[in-house]
Amino acid sequence: MKPLSARKADDFFGNPSASFEEDLVRLATKGTEVQANSFGNEGTGGQSYRKYNWKTGILTDSILLLRILAMETDSCCAKPNTIICLERKLMATGNF
């Protein structure tokens, strides 16, 4: 695989259909109620969400686990196979 810097920016960022297969986000697993899609016009991104009856003004606990698989640059301090856990309180603020 050529490093990202060696590729033409127009081929990679400007045309999602020209994205290189190895650069695409891959969904590891999801629950039966989770929707998963790719981003339009963004090349390699992915989106997953679960429809939920959010109540405005109510705090909800949320945990996101990420595992770094590989790094092309030294721009991130995490090493491959590092597990990152983000815990946040989320609050719905609009109409859903």
- pLDDT tens-digit profile, the chain (96 residues): 445 555 555 555 555 555 566 666 777 788 888 888 876 555 567 778 888 887 788 887 777 766 666 555 555 555 656 666 666 666 666 554
Q: For residue 70, give the nearest of 12, 22, 38 by alpha carbon.
A: 22
What is the C-alpha to C-alpha distance for residues 59 and 43, in angstroms, rounded to an integer? 33
> So what's the pLDDT on residue 96?
44
Please count the other Cβ atoms lying within 10 Å of the Cβ belonging to residue 43. 19
Q: For residue 37, give the nearest of 14, 22, 16 by alpha carbon.
A: 16
What are the residues whose beta carbons fall under 8 Å from the beta carbon of 75, sequence distance 6 or more? none
Residue type, 91: M
> So what's the pLDDT on residue 41?
57
> So what's the pLDDT on residue 43?
58
